[in-house]
């Protein structure tokens, strides 16, 4: 295989265009020939010609002639039967998909799309075929088989909003599996299989959490996949924050940051998250804003010399008060509710900032990072509400802004 440079040359693009045109013409010719073959097979079937050669079934006759597989013979005969009228006793059964047959004869459809139209028409009551087939055919001309089936399913849903009668099969346990693996670079990979009902609600939760962010720090430029990835992490953040406030304070009990005094003092070096993960001093300070912190002394070789007392920075009571005061991420323009938020020390606790309400602000994960990256400063206004001073490139005057996105808590 030739090695490609990132950008193809105009000559390469031209050759690819020519090849694509050729493939399109050849594919159409192949599909047209197949449609003619189906017409012949329908004729052989309706006139019982296989019998003259000693074959009871047309499929056996076809396999003898062409050595196609059982699967291929069945597919060709299924298309032949759906596209052409055929006798049933003294009656003639009309074609199931006459419009699709015309499109197939013109070489316009792939095998998979023909089969999807036939499959869906087979499920739609005969009285609705005249209206359903044009829709399915439209989709078969422009989309793939999954889209044709989805269009068919929408028609079925319209015809029978309550779905098919429930069956009486005994309830079985759902089959689920999950693989969470750490990669060499320290990132993680998550793979999971879940049953249809769990998949539906997971999809709706992720969907709800992957809306574009709001906030005065600029537009959200994440791709849909990135937003869904962030939403997945938010789900776990919410689990860590539960049970939800304001009635009961959630504790972020599961995160412990082990921070060498040296890292604390110089703001350089490494720290350890949950006894195993090495994180940078920068990340350590982000995590340490709202976790249990264990300061320690390390020898040159990293051996622990002395361990300080584990310190839980924000108490449940303080968290409850923080939730009530800020009612969500307090970054200007952000609409994230408390369950997506973390506590932040306005003046870093490692710089002597106290852990009291006057030095705390509630921030969503994203805005917590924004604030730690500097540029935005926070101060508490005289009425006790956090205000944000934007960086000079956003507002040269750095006029304080506050968040008015969260509704007041009902009393």
Q: Provide the binding-site residues for Zn ion, judged by CB under 5 A.
A: 289, 329, 331, 334, 336, 344, 364, 367
Q: Which two tokens stand for residue 237?
A: 């953040």
Closer to Zn ion by CB, 284 or 334: give it.
Answer: 334
Please give the Cα distance from 360 to 200 (Å, whole number).
Answer: 37
Q: Tell me the CA distances in angstroms from 303 to 36, 259, 264, 307, one per residue in order.
A: 79, 13, 17, 11
Closer to Zn ion by CB, 55 or 331: give it.
Answer: 331
Closer to Zn ion by CB, 80 or 288: give it.
Answer: 288
Closer to Zn ion by CB, 139 or 284: give it.
Answer: 284
- To Zn ion, the closest distance from the beta carbon of 235 in angstroms equals 16
Q: Which two tokens stand for residue 195?
A: 């049953």
- To Zn ion, the closest distance from the beta carbon of 31 in angstroms equals 54
- To Zn ion, the closest distance from the beta carbon of 97 in angstroms equals 53
Please give the Cα distance from 49 to 63 (Å, whole number).
Answer: 15
- To Zn ion, the closest distance from the beta carbon of 284 in angstroms equals 11
- Which residue, among 367, 364, 383, has the nearest Cα to 375 in the 3D structure? 367
**C-beta of residue 121 within 8 angstroms of C-beta of residue 98:** no
Question: Is the backbone of residue 384 left (phi > 0), alpha (psi -120 to 50) or beta?
Answer: left
Please give the Cα distance from 348 to 289 (Å, whole number).
Answer: 8
**C-beta of residue 118 within 8 angstroms of C-beta of residue 152:** no
Closer to Zn ion by CB, 79 or 344: give it.
Answer: 344
Parallel, antiparallel or unpaired: strands 270-273 and 256-260: antiparallel
**What's the distance, Cα to Cα, between the start and end of the chain in Å?**
69
C-alpha torsion sign, points 237, 243, 247, 248? negative
- To Zn ion, the closest distance from the beta carbon of 260 in angstroms equals 19
- To Zn ion, the closest distance from the beta carbon of 378 in angstroms equals 10
3-state secondary structure of 272: strand
Closer to Zn ion by CB, 59 or 342: give it.
Answer: 342
- To Zn ion, the closest distance from the beta carbon of 207 in angstroms equals 19
- Which residue, among 89, 93, 98, has the nearest Cα to 38 in the 3D structure? 98
Closer to Zn ion by CB, 111 or 335: give it.
Answer: 335
- To Zn ion, the closest distance from the beta carbon of 390 in angstroms equals 14
3-state secondary structure of 107: coil
- To Zn ion, the closest distance from the beta carbon of 307 in angstroms equals 24
Q: In sequence order, which residues have a C-beta less than 8 Å from that of residue 347 and are 6 or more positions away?
A: 353, 354, 359
- To Zn ion, the closest distance from the beta carbon of 334 in angstroms equals 3
- To Zn ion, the closest distance from the beta carbon of 150 in angstroms equals 35
Q: Alpha-carbon dihedral of residues 59, 63, 68, 74, nearest 10 degrees?
A: 10
- Long-range contacts of the stretch 302-306 (C-beta < 8 A, 24+): none
Q: Which two tokens stand for residue 171?
A: 């309830």
> C-alpha angle 259/264/270, rounded to 5°?
55
């Amino acid at each position: 295989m030739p090695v490609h440079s990132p950008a193809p040359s105009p000559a390469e693009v031209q050759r690819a265009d020519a090849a694509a045109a050729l493939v399109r013409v050849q594919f159409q010719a192949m599909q047209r020939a197949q449609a003619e073959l189906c017409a012949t097979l329908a004729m052989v079937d309706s006139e019982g010609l296989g019998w003259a050669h000693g074959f009871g079934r047309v499929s056996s006759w076809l396999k003898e002639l062409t050595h196609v597989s059982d699967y291929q013979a069945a597919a060709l005969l299924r298309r032949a039967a759906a596209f052409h009228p055929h006798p049933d006793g003294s009656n003639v059964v009309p074609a199931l998909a006459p419009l699709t047959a015309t499109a197939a004869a013109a070489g316009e459809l792939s095998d998979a799309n023909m089969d999807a139209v036939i499959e869906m028409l087979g499920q739609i009551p005969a009285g609705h075929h005249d209206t359903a087939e044009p829709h399915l055919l439209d989709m078969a001309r422009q989309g793939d088989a999954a889209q044709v089936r989805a269009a068919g399913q929408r028609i079925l849903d319209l015809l029978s909003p309550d779905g098919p009668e429930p069956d009486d099969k005994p309830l079985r346990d759902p089959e689920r599996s999950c693989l969470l693996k750490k990669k060499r670079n320290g990132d993680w990979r998550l793979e999971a299989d879940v049953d249809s009902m769990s998949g539906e609600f997971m999809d709706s939760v992720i969907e709800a959490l992957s809306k574009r962010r709001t906030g005065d720090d600029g537009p959200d430029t994440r791709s849909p996949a990135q937003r869904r990835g962030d939403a997945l992490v938010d789900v776990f953040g919410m689990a860590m924050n539960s049970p939800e406030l304001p009635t009961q304070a959630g504790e972020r009990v599961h995160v412990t940051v082990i921070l060498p005094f040296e890292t604390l003092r110089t703001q350089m070096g490494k720290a350890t998250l949950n006894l195993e993960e090495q994180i940078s001093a920068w990340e350590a300070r982000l995590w340490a804003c709202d976790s249990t912190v264990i300061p320690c002394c390390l020898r040159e070789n990293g051996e622990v010399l002395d361990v300080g007392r584990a310190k839980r920075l924000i108490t449940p009571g303080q968290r409850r008060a923080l939730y009530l005061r800020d009612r969500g991420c307090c970054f200007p323009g952000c609409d994230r509710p408390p369950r997506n938020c973390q506590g932040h020390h306005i003046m870093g606790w490692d710089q002597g900032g106290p852990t009291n309400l006057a030095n705390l602000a509630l921030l969503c994960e994203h805005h917590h990072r924004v604030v730690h990256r500097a540029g935005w400063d926070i101060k508490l206004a005289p009425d006790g509400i956090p205000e944000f001073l934007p960086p000079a490139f956003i507002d040269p005057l750095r006029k304080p802004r506050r968040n008015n996105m969260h509704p007041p808590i009902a009393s």
